Amino acid sequence: SAVISQKPSRDICQRGTSLTIQCQVDSQVTMMFWYRQQPGQSLTLIATANQGSEATYESGFVIDKFPISRPNLTFSTLTVSNMSPEDSSIYLCSVDLMVEAFFGQGTRLTVV
Amino acid sequence: GNSVTQMEGPVTLSEEAFLTINCTYTATGYPSLFWYVQYPGEGLQLLLKATKADDKGSNKGFEATYRKETTSFHLEKGSVQVSDSAVYFCALRSAGNNRKLIWGLGTSLAVNP
């Protein structure tokens, strides 16, 4: 199994500012995934973060808005830039071990 | 492309009632299938899984059988408890090179005492 520590667990931010979310895994993993879960909706994959290369973004998500770092095999950050109220959501970090996905506790972001 | 269709909620049951949450999928080959659960205020966690046809995943009294012929993976529990109140997500992971998780929309379950 994998234990994922994600922080902050929640934050309230002013529009126009940026927030960086950190994700720490207790084992080395090749890929880390960042998801968004908007209120009452399912999970949407934002991007896949690989160590040593640029993240791969899904359709509708761009690096300027959601820059990602992956400095080593156990850590990643996701920044939500120039925030607007539409960015209010839960952001989740995830890793795969074999076929199973493990998730952090999530970051509940409210933009006011 | 691959997709997951999940029964819409919310579902409200009385304690000890029987639960079924339907999940059907579209995928090529033989995907792996999952049910994840999200309890109030908590992160997602795996509830059960099945990786090949006719497999039955089970955990905490919940069961789901991988039915290739009907492309289904319905979640069942014989007697729900208040503590089962949560959002349940069906998901698949394809067998091919693109192994992203494909998620259903989630079904909210409320169990009343």
How confident is the model over A25-76, as pLDDT tens digits?
Answer: 999 998 999 999 987 778 899 999 988 888 999 999 999 999 999 999 999 9
B107 in contact with chain A, both atoms CB, cutoff 8 A: no
Provide mean pLDDT across the span B2-7.
Answer: 91
As a 3-state breakdown, chain A gives helix, strand, coil percent values, each rounded to 5, of 5, 55, 45
Angle at A90 between CA B26 and CA A31, to 5 degrees: 65
Provide mean pLDDT across the span B74-97.
Answer: 92
In whole angstroms, how far apart are CA B24 and each of A38, A60, A99, A104, B31? 23, 26, 19, 27, 12
Q: How many CB atoms lie within 10 A of CB B71?
A: 16
Q: How many CB atoms lie within 10 A of CB A69?
A: 14
Q: Tens digits of per-residue pLDDT, B9-39?
A: 899 999 999 999 999 999 988 899 999 999 9
Can you give the pLDDT at residue B97? 60
Chain A: residues touching B (Cβ < 8 Å): 41-43, 45, 92, 96, 99-106
* Nearest chain A Cα distance for residue B78, angstroms: 25
Provide mean pLDDT across the span B57-72.
Answer: 96
Q: Tens digits of per-residue pLDDT, A13-28?
A: 999 999 999 999 999 9
Phi, psi of B83 (to 5 degrees): -70, -10
What DSSP state is assigned to residue B67?
A: B
Contacts of B49 in chain A (CB under 8 A): 99-100
Cis? peptide before A8, omega within 30° of 0? yes
Q: How many CB atoms lie within 10 A of CB B16?
A: 11
Can you give the pLDDT at residue A82? 97
For residues A73 and A95, give the distance between their C-alpha atoms in angstroms, rounded to a whole number: 11
Average per-residue pLDDT for chain B? 93
**Three-state SS for B84?**
helix
Q: Are the beta carbons of B46 and A100 separated by less than 8 Å?
A: yes
Provide mean pLDDT across the span A5-14.
Answer: 96
**Three-state SS for A85?**
helix
What DSSP state is assigned to residue B72?
A: B
Confidence class for position A85, pLDDT limits 50, 70, 90: very high
Q: Tokens representing B85? A: 């109140």
